[in-house]
Amino acid sequence: MTTLPPFRNEPVLELRRATERSKLAVGLGELRLPLKVPVWIGREQRFGDELVSTDPGRPERIVALAAAASAEEADAAVATAQAAFGRWAATPVHERAAALLRAAAWMRERRASLAALALRECAKPWPEADADVCEAIDFLEFYARGALELQDPDGSQLLQVPGERNELRYVPRGVCAVIAPWNFPLAIPTGMTAAALATGNTVVLKPAEQAPGCGMRIVEALRAGGVPAAAIALLPGGGETGAALARNPAVATIAFTGSGPVGLELLRSAAEVAPGARQLTRVVAEMGGKNCIVVDSDADLDEAIPAIVESAFHYAGQKCSAAARVLAHEALHDALVERLAGAVAGLQVGPADDFGTDVPPLIERDAQQRVQRYAAIAGESGEIVTGEHDVPGEGWYVAPVVAAGLPPDSRVLREEVFGPLLTVESVRDVDEAMDRIDGLPVALTGGLFSRNPRTVQRVIERSPVGNLYINRSTTGAMVGRQPFGGNRLSGTGTKAGGREYLLHFVEPRVVTENTVRHGLVV
């Protein structure tokens, strides 16, 4: 375990090859639906059908029937995890890392069926679903190695002087409540859970209510890898289940990815210290953004247009990193709008299991209606430059939209739409674009297309975002390559997939020993 090979990202499938596509088709055929998802605490399971997850492309298809955890079950799960904490924390770090590596191998062996489940439950098109599984594997592999590095006891990071020995060590905090989103139903919950477990914490996982089946598979993988049953619980449920976890004073850390309002409520809840509490609850949060791409006058539109389309419309814009606004130099604004409209017209809207689909259905009816409302606002106050799209009648589909000419105070320019709607604005220069970006309260991702090194450096210095992408798409952050997390109201800047991420799940302790002893104990 101390001589693991260097971390390498799990390679995605080359889906232009028929042999690779056939592997995924086999995985889809292996799914036996509906899945039965329990409240799973220790070795006890309670099944039910209070939660129903359905295929967004065919809402009559039930993907999973899940029990919904009550507040009492949330407390029981925390109590079980708390009782198991001491033993898991005392487990040597190389054994914890080995459990994560075995869980990664379990996922690797079931890659096609896991991708198929993400496709059915969350309408992730095949390339996105396969990449979701790869990222989950990456998190397990990366954090296993990171935990080993974190516990290196050589003390070299502290100043040593004659007569004393100084050592910095990291210890786990306790029970971690993981509250996960649906848009990366395997990768993100696996990452948050793996980070907590690798550092010796126990975990209660509440998957998104739209994706309980994927949450169950994560727990199965970790238990198959050797994580004790009491150290990882599964709590399907809605917002009330997450709120019950956040209220529990025995929860030491809350790891959350989701909407801003929910994240802020979790921060408020964590700030209220319960009587008798023995530690502050730490919140690790990533809460979305209003992501802008700046296109300067010297940009190569042959490069910019495909990247913008990918950033805004792949997975129907349902990524927290997806592009929402384009701020284009006035010299090329009209040409960019015309070419964007043409590129978007060629996108295929359809079922996630069709290998040719670019824009799948949205996750649920509420999301469809929300995006349609924003599109209507954009059409009333600006101009919709994209034409009609053929959209399937069954499922939660929305045609991709590009809007231009919106007034500066438009809600569409400031609020997170989380769907296939992109706005384009004309700006005098890059500095005006950066002023508009600086006026936003959120700062997750951003993009720039420019061939001028001085412009690139100026934007780097001014950009407030957590992840800035230059001359490429704004989505597709890779574990170990682009550690991910937002600033301002986009979150706590936690940088998932980076070396420092594990520090959020531990407490540092310094031990100083006087090495000039006088006399010996007899």
445-449 vs 467-470, strand pairing mode: parallel
Helix (H, G, I), strand (E, B) or coil at 53: strand
**Phi first, then psi: what are they for 359, rounded to 5°?**
-120, 105
Residue 496 forms beta bridges with which residues?
484
Q: Which of 121, 135, 141, 286 is catalytic?
A: 286
My answer on whether omega of the bond before 464 falls inside 30° of 0, hence cis, is: no
Decide if 286 is catalytic. Answer: yes
For 233, the enclosing helix (H) or strand (E) is: strand 232-234
Cα distances from 395 to residues 16, 135, 365, 367, 391, in angstroms, run: 27, 27, 8, 12, 9
Decide if 320 is catalytic. Answer: yes
Concatenate the DSSP letters of all residues of 82-144 into one string: HHHHHHHHHS-HHHHHHHHHHHHHHHHHTHHHHHHHHHHHH---HHHHHHHHHHHHHHHHHHH
Q: How many CA atoms lie within 13 A of 460 on its CB side?
A: 10
Under a CB-based contact definition with an 8 Å cutoff, are residues 39 and 234 in contact? yes
The CA R_g of the chain, rounded to the nearest whole Å, is 24
Q: Which of 292, 320, 364, 416 is catalytic?
A: 320
Q: DSSP label at 467?
A: E
Phi-psi region of 448 (alpha: psi -120 to 50; beta: other; left: phi over 0): beta
Catalytic residues: 286, 320
